Amino acid sequence: MTTVEITRFRAPAARAETLLATRPAMLRDFETDRTGFLGARLIRLTEDVWLDIVFWRSPEDFAESRRRGGDRPGIQAFFSLIDEVISVEEGTTTEPVGA
């Protein structure tokens, strides 16, 4: 099974284009610098509410990433556009990622 991080956050609609433009650099930082990062999906729920679903190899990999926070430029640029983290949850998949 794969660990899943589910983060709901608020970012103003006026920042949506910038948020999407910074996403690739954030993902590159995760791919090159975060052990166990398997991928992510960003979903826009409303004008200003987003859902970020991130897949990790293990709960330990997710915990280490949370501990490190926005310690890379691409990650920090993305995080800086978020006004409010509404919730963060952790779960596990019931089927392989990509299935």
Domain locations in the chain as residue ranges: 3-92
Q: Is the pLDDT of residue 98 over 80?
A: no
Tell me the per-residue pLDDT of 20-45, one tens digit each, with 9 for 90 and over: 999 999 999 999 999 999 999 999 99
On whether the pTM is more than 0.85, the answer is yes
- Fold of the 3-92 domain: Alpha-Beta Plaits (3.30.70)
Helix or strand holding residue 46 (H, E): none
Residue 47 burial class via C-beta count within 10 angstroms: exposed 0-12, middle 13-18, buried 19 and up: exposed
- Residue 67 main-chain phi, psi, to 5 deg: -60, -40
> What are 43-58's pLDDT values in tens digits?
999 999 999 999 999 9
